[in-house]
Copies of this chain bind each other. A is one copy, B any other.
Amino acid sequence: MRFIIQRDSLLQSVQDVMKAVTSRTTIPILTGIKIVANEEGVTLTGSDSDISIESFIPKEEAGDEIVEIKQPGSIVLQARFFSEIVKKLPTDSVEIEVHNNLQTVIRSGKSEFNLNGLDAEEYPHLPQISEEHVFKIPTDLLKGLIRQTVFSVSTSETRPILTGVNWKVENNELICIATDSHRLALRKAKLEADNTGSYNVVIPGKSLTELSKILDDSSESVDIVITENQVLFKAKHLLFFSRLLEGNYPDTGRLIPSESKTDVVVNTKEFLHAIDRASLLAREGRNNVVKFSTIEGGAIEVSSNTPEIGTVVEEIQSQSIDGEELKISFSAKYMMDALKALEGTEIQISFTGAMRPFVIRPLHDDSILQLILPVRTY
């Protein structure tokens, strides 16, 4: 193998596939990046066997030559060293040449690296996915869907299925749900294409987080292919594979109350900042719990009290309070996570009593909701 490549294109691709590479793998060759050069260009692959990322660098783009292939071939190079080297090479043009003994020479200006490569034939194959059913989502919407749900997945392996986000496709609608059993995030989106099929799968939260980091903020579409045990996201010059979690996701539908006894509308930012301050003195306590109560004059009081340190009381003027008076306690962290995930300047919180889960929604937007279970303190 021998080719000459533009450093910046190579670096971008290396950094993309590095997102899948971990040093904590039981399969030694997966600490490397696979590089394949053929007549069309150069393909890089990184994988930790859960996530696999393939990035393609075409020979030409927008009329500029990016890669000049001198001789097709393939190699696996240690990801950590290769990525550090590419980042620091002195010139725009980089030559990569593999000798018969897998020794790989990287040349740039007067800098010459000689790395011990591994045989690309020994690199695991990527999943074979037949692309019969594909649905499309604009990249920026996809990133939003991920951002607004993935924070609610469980970080504990006690119930592995809860470490993933439940994706359901039905009637041309995608519903994403994440819950760690103390809170839940739900986001819906209409799919444009007809006949998108029906799916009900659980994608690991970590995979979605890494996918989100790689995708550009653009309105171009990502193609999504779901099979029995894999999901494939296809963006421009990029393939992102993730395994799916096995098992049935709990039915969360009945968790979400359909009625409410107290409805409060507040300014999102004002409320977020007040919760943030109220939690400053609550962090020492066991779980960062603040008290919330409706008070006279359409206002809300949020407070916390840690005897050794002191107390804090925040008053927030609401836009409206309808229904019963309420005193309730909840995790300030869960509330702040939920508020940060919501869009819109005003939110509505719907309570059905001090011991029941409550729901936070942007005003006039049904596509997203956040649910939080209260804590018993009052």
- Chain A contacts to B: CB under 8 angstroms: 78, 81, 84-85, 88-90, 103-104, 110-116, 273-274, 276-277, 280-281, 308-317
Contact = CB atoms under 8 A, between A and B. Distances in A.
A81 B313 contact: no
Contact of A116 (B113, B114, B277, B308): B308
Nearest to A103: B310
Nearest to A90: B273
B277 A309 contact: no
B280 A84 contact: yes
Contact of A112 (B78, B85, B308, B312): B312
15 contacts: A84-B280, A88-B273, A90-B273, A90-B277, A111-B274, A111-B313, A111-B314, A112-B313, A113-B280, A113-B281, A114-B310, A114-B311, A115-B310, A116-B308, A116-B310
A85 to B, nearest CB: 6
B309 A78 contact: yes
**Among A111, A115, A281, A314, which residue has the most Cβ atoms of chain B within 10 A?**
A111
A81 B273 contact: no
A207 to B, nearest CB: 30
Contacts of A89: 277
Contact of A88 (B85, B110, B276, B311): B276
Nearest to A302: B111
Kindly list the 4 A-B residue pairs having the minimum CB-CB distance in the complex, ordered from nearest: A115-B310, A110-B315, A114-B311, A113-B312
Given A88-B280, A111-B312, A115-B309, 11 more contacts: A78-B309, A85-B277, A88-B277, A90-B273, A103-B310, A111-B315, A112-B314, A113-B280, A114-B310, A114-B313, A116-B308
B273 A316 contact: no
A113 B311 contact: yes
A89 B85 CA distance: 46
